[in-house]
Amino acid sequence: METPISSSERLKGKTALLSGAASGIGLASAWRFAEEGAKIAVSDIAAKKGRELVAALNDNGYDAFFFELDVVDAKSWEGAVAETVGRWGKLDILLNSAGIGRVYPLLDMTLEEWRRTMAVNLDGTFLGTQAAIRSMKDTGGGSIVNISSVMGMVGAPNISAYCASKGGVRLFTKAAALECAALGLDIRINSVHPGYIETPMVMRRFENIDDSDAAMTELTTKHPIGRLGQKEEVASLILYLASDESRFTTGSEFVIDGGYTAR
């Protein structure tokens, strides 16, 4: 579904670092931020796709660069923030979008699989948030947006590690927001909780199952609106939280789920 969106430079003069920006929600947010006037630091472990995105952004006249960043690596985060500030003088916006959503039945899951999910989704969000705050506190503040999930609010079978990691992101966000406020820092931190969105993370699940149509119908009916979400719809909410329009908002959770959690 294409919704025409006209730019009104809602992020004019801002700089943004995005993790997991080579795909899905991160990618849609990179375009949306750029269209609204921000300079964009694209980061991901998927270097080829990240570089292709930056080339496309540059071709469209936007100021962007790529930084290969594994979110579990604290040194990489320091490097990405330093590169952003080195180029543009400050970091205003961090979007923590990198994540993995693997299905592991509880009784079969290894400790290694559990830890990997926690590392990417929760440790990665902590490390990015910490690196950004260390920089933002000296350059006039900023906005940090952490992508959690409806699975950080309600449970579901076979994804207990994912639910635990996203529930962790939800409360980490609130605690970090309160700490910034208590320190008198002009840094806001909020979490976004999407329902199922048509991105590679979700669509991959239907690749190797026998009746993918039935599985898709079952998933769709969990959303009272009657369809899955689009990454551009999530990017619109993220844009609001990244911009100064949300300046009275911190430590809050923003659900965008087609009604998934309403019943």
Query: How long, in residues, is the chain?
Result: 263
Q: Which residue has the tokens 């440790």?
A: 123
72 is a site residue for ligand NAD (CB under 6 A)? yes
Backbone angles phi, psi at 191, to 5 degrees: -115, 150
Q: How far is the CB of 118 from ligand NAD (least distance, A)?
A: 12
State which of residues 53, 147, 159, 255 lies at the interface with ligand NAD (CB under 6 A).
Answer: 147
Q: CA end-to-end span of the chain, whole Å?
A: 25
- Convert residues 90-109 into a mask of x (bound to ligand NAD by CB under 6 A) and - (unbound): -------xxxxx--------
Do residues 26 and 44 make contact, with C-beta atoms less than 8 angstroms apart? yes
Q: Which is nearer to ligand NAD, 104 or 186 (CB)?
A: 104
Q: How far is the CB of 208 from ligand NAD (least distance, A)?
A: 16
State which of residues 30, 38, 40, 45 lies at the interface with ligand NAD (CB under 6 A).
Answer: 45
Spatial strand order of the sheet with 187-194 comes to 64-68, 39-44, 15-19, 93-96, 142-147, 187-194, 253-256
Q: How far is the CB of 258 from ligand NAD (least distance, A)?
A: 11
Q: How far apart are CA 14 and CA 16, in angstroms?
A: 7
Return the residues of window 196-235 that contact ligand NAD according to CB under 6 A: 196-197, 199-202
117 is a site residue for ligand NAD (CB under 6 A)? no
State which of residues 5, 46, 82, 171 lies at the interface with ligand NAD (CB under 6 A).
Answer: 46
Identify the H or E element spanning 100: none
Q: Which residue has the tokens 């952003």?
A: 84
Residue type, 255: V
Do residues 67 and 75 make contact, with C-beta atoms less than 8 angstroms apart? no
Helices and strands (H, E) in the chain, number of each type:
9, 7
Could you confirm whether 162 is annotated as catalytic?
A: yes
State which of residues 22, 131, 161, 189 lies at the interface with ligand NAD (CB under 6 A).
Answer: 22
Residue nearest to ligand NAD (CB): 24
Q: Which residue among 62, 162, 196, 260 is the active-site one?
A: 162
- Convert residues 154-193 into a mask of x (bound to ligand NAD by CB under 6 A) and - (unbound): ----------------------------------------
95 φ/ψ sector (left φ>0, alpha ψ -120 to 50, else beta): beta
Active site residues: 162
* Positions in the binding site for ligand NAD (CB under 6 A): 19-20, 22-26, 44-46, 69-72, 97-101, 120, 147, 149, 194, 196-197, 199-202
